[in-house]
Structure 1
């Protein structure tokens, strides 16, 4: 854990990952609850919903079950709720809190308070005043847990919320509704209003802990921690609180000055760390708009890098070293070039050809994220397997399911091959989907049809890039198969299935999605399944792992920072076109993905822009110019 103080207006703790951060916060909260119980006092907690606190709640449940943590002395007040919203709806925060916490601990039902999304509109104002009164009657909030939205909202206090605001009904910002669209199976189903504690209510809590995970939160975290207080970013008002802290993983902290440019933030720099030197040089080149080999002593001195220059200069010596490191990341042979000197290549020359296993969290992540590299690996003669970790069924529009059910019915009518016509399947599917309520979970039949649609598209893409059908593996990991955006926790069954596939193929090269910005969290869980499977196999003495390297790519949401890239695979215009055509095989995701996230463009557009941007940065640094580049970082397990 790193404490960040320089330039911070909010105290910050940075952890290597959200798991460690969440368990630490949960243990600290548990210690507070126990202390209050020992004193014979209640612990009044303000609780948040969303993806950020879920791991905290899971750890609190574990502490209750395994270490006797009691919640008998706890009184809770939740921050917010959509309006209108029935408490048993899939998206309700009442249901969320029950599923993640309240149904698994011994808190007294009468001590639980969550804004009521069913209050008649004419009674909302009185209800909100009563909610404020209940907080005061409980003695005020001792310990407030917060997340943060991309607009900088805390609770549902959108931009424009004043620092004195109280519990009230608000209108949700467009960005907030877009971010919530996946939970509601489309933005059109997201409520336009919500009930929320006010900023003033939150600021009256005695202690506040704000959680933020992933690169997607990095920009707004920077504004909260280092920007001026403003109602356009309500989270900046936390700067006025005497006992607040932001708990972040490294990805969410990436834009903070002490993390991004420690040499400008009066943070001691270890210039023996080659990764830090590389980070500094790529930053300096882009800041001065110069190729690395043209950087001068003056450039170093004028931009906060005099310490690096004094320790390792002159400038040209540092420039040459970093330039060579970046140049050595570039390879047109992602599987290793046979019979070549691999001293300065990112991959080994031998063995050749390699058994390669590409893990794809959803049925299109392989071609979206590393389609050019996948094509190269096949073209260069490697034995390439693709493992589709989930079915991806929730990302298929209802119309697509009807179209395919209709095809089955029409086919059966034309070729009648059994005594039970498929027309009945078609009728059941159409009847269900025509009566389906917003956010309702699909029937098993509809889920299967949607899963088969995604599977067929993945097979088509495999055929196009040259992966034989027997090397396409459809895992359908159980954690995903809920029919809902909210998934089950990763289980031993998920890990065992991954171990079995790995042990059966025994690859010499693995590719996996290493990004944490996926707004739905599937990439994060799929990566955890792979990492835990590899670690267990290692503990069991799997000898083949000694000759296996793991490369991490990133999905449609974020690219690796240029200084972190360890293998850069250049793409020609023709290869970029082939990659686009492979992505087009996923027709159900074409034109408009069901869950586009913050970026409304099609996946192929995002992928091409990202590949071209990476190539352009390499060019700006003075390296060869390419049409596109796909980037990878090695996981050294």
Structure 2
């Protein structure tokens, strides 16, 4: 680990590039904020925690208070977890720390489970030795007529400590820092603000519905944030990629308040690979300067050029490549040779036989011909991701005679609205009364209905209510499987424990989760596994489920039967793979697309305004069809065969 002196504090930098080194890199010439990119959020969060810990220790040695500006949201959770670990295992003391939080929802009391003061105590304060009198979080319960005075006092208190030594930030998809929404001025101070619709939509996952998300918040201003001596801003996941690019490479504007960080002389943007993917040095590195032309990058560049010029691959000319900084990929044969090679590659990704075509030459096919009939597991994070994301391929695999198993990794119970559960509970009660007659004992149903009627939006959902909601989703899932012709004994409900908390926040992936996945794989001994590689769902369940599968594969890879197992990753519910990344493209006919829609319709609790809608107002069947049709259109635009719709997959190599 290297150590750098920054603003008088000893900062642990580990693998981080210094700002001087970063600014000298040709690849970063479009970037106006110092950026550091890590493989994943885990590693990045540890680096940030190490920097904070080093600052706390440095201040302790000087017998000074360490003034920290802290953030909430999903991004800093792992930072706080690492700080708690360092406190408990390494003796890191917080007794010299004075904290000031960025913001708080207006109208929420400190006892409210959705309040940010509750968040901070849950994730950090209750687990370290910080003095209660040193904790400062804006209050959401100040009378409206006293808000201006209260905000001024909050500013003055920060100033009384000499300002913030370190400010931790996340970023919203509107470009807000704190709750400084578009339109915020660079000189703004602590104040009340009205939350943007998109911000409320993004935060709806922590509440029962969009309607329950507060419309206002108290927040530090942009000017307050910029006074901090050191700023670290985080963004993880592909849903943040677009706003990261605008913030890092765009012009300073109140339309994207985070761009004002470009004026600060000691700020670092900490990213993972997914959130950094839209930066110019990754999206189109040939525009930045010299680059290593790997096979993957060549494919990406040719697709980009074809789309930019609106020309099929086989019509691209030498001049087109030269004019766009891509002359290096032209070999002796020039554009003609490159075009033919690329055209053939994309042509070979297309197959109507996702399980492999029997008795066929599979040299240029994405899947093996043998065994002709395969055992297959489709892992579905929620009880509808299978049909939403790969319903056409699912149907094709069944119709072509493969032994298809479907494994629903979680119950999906939190995504069922209370009114749905209430309706089913009343129906069950009346059915029971009809069957039992005078012997009917209503106690169980009465208790359940009472729980549903009195259920506070801010409480943990009871086990009984969760059971009912889980049964609703089980019934929908098996209905869709039966529609596709799957025997009941090939439908598996894993109900992974990490998910069963009764609230949006889940437990970390545990050994028990991985064991359940391993046991199913060992039982089926599949030739193919399909897993959800779509990591943009609003509350991260897909990512946890995928990590569980990867961990199981790692443990099982030495088993003989795993040598013949291929793993394919699918997307579709929230994102689709870029066409240059697709390794197997399965065409879907109009009839199959309609049958896929009917299977999605079996999931009635997820129609008509679902609990976790995300920022896409379309229903899931509409999203799915539109994406499948868009993928087919992109293949057509490249000059390839024209299809109604296409589902795309990438292979995951675990051996």
TM (norm. structure 1) is 0.96
Partner of residue 216, structure 1 = 239
Partner of residue 325, structure 2 = 304
Partner of residue 394, structure 1 = 414
Name which of 81, 103, 109 aligns with 1:58: 81
| Greater mean alpha carbon deviation, residues 187-196 or residues 52-61 | 52-61
- Structure 2 vs 1, CA of residues 417 and 469 (structure 1 numbering), >3 Å: closer, same or farther? farther
| Greater mean alpha carbon deviation, residues 136-145 or residues 385-394 | 136-145
Partner of residue 234, structure 1 = 257
Partner of residue 378, structure 1 = 398
Distance 1:533 1:72 in 2: 42
Shift of 1:417: 6.9
Q: State the number of aligned residues.
A: 631
Distance 1:499 1:515 in 2: 21
Gaps of 5+ in 2: 1-14
Q: Which runs of structure 2 are paired with 1:91-106 in the superposition (5 Å)? A: 91-106=114-129
Distance 1:470 1:28 in 2: 52
Note if 1:155 corresponds to 2:175. no
Distance 1:86 1:555 in 2: 39
Partner of residue 520, structure 2 = 501
Shift of 1:312: 6.2
Partner of residue 434, structure 1 = 453
Q: Which runs of structure 2 are paired with 1:165-564 in the superposition (5 Å)? A: 165-266=188-289, 268-271=290-293, 273-309=294-330, 314-416=334-436, 419-421=439-441, 423-538=442-557, 541-564=558-581
Shift of 1:432: 2.8
Deviations 1:127-180 (A, max 9, x none): 211211221122211111111111111110011110011111111111111111
Distance 2:92 2:358 in 1: 59
Contact kept, 8 Å, 2:234 with 2:270, in 1: the verdict is yes
Contact kept, 8 Å, 1:312 with 1:318, in 2: the verdict is no
- Structure 2 vs 1, CA of residues 68 and 534 (structure 1 numbering), >3 Å: closer, same or farther? farther
Contact kept, 8 Å, 1:405 with 1:426, in 2: the verdict is yes
Contact kept, 8 Å, 2:432 with 2:440, in 1: the verdict is no
Distance 2:355 2:32 in 1: 47
Deviations 1:169-209 (A, max 9, x none): 11111111111112111111111110111000111111111
Shift of 1:313: 5.2
Contact kept, 8 Å, 2:411 with 2:473, in 1: the verdict is yes
Partner of residue 3, structure 2 = none
Helix, strand or coil at the partner of 2:497:
coil
Contact kept, 8 Å, 1:405 with 1:425, in 2: the verdict is no
Contact kept, 8 Å, 2:378 with 2:405, in 1: the verdict is yes
Name which of 585, 588, 607 aligns with 2:605: 588
Shift of 1:92: 1.0
Deviations 1:13-55 (A, max 9, x none): 1222222222222223222322333333332211111111112
Q: Which runs of structure 2 are paired with 1:37-48 in the superposition (5 Å)? A: 37-48=60-71
Deviations 1:328-359 (A, max 9, x none): 11111111112221111111122231111111
Name which of 121, 127, 133 aligns with 2:150: 127
Partner of residue 87, structure 1 = 110
Partner of residue 10, structure 2 = none
Distance 1:121 1:331 in 2: 63
Helix, strand or coil at the partner of 1:416:
helix
Name which of 569, 592, 596 aligns with 1:575: 592
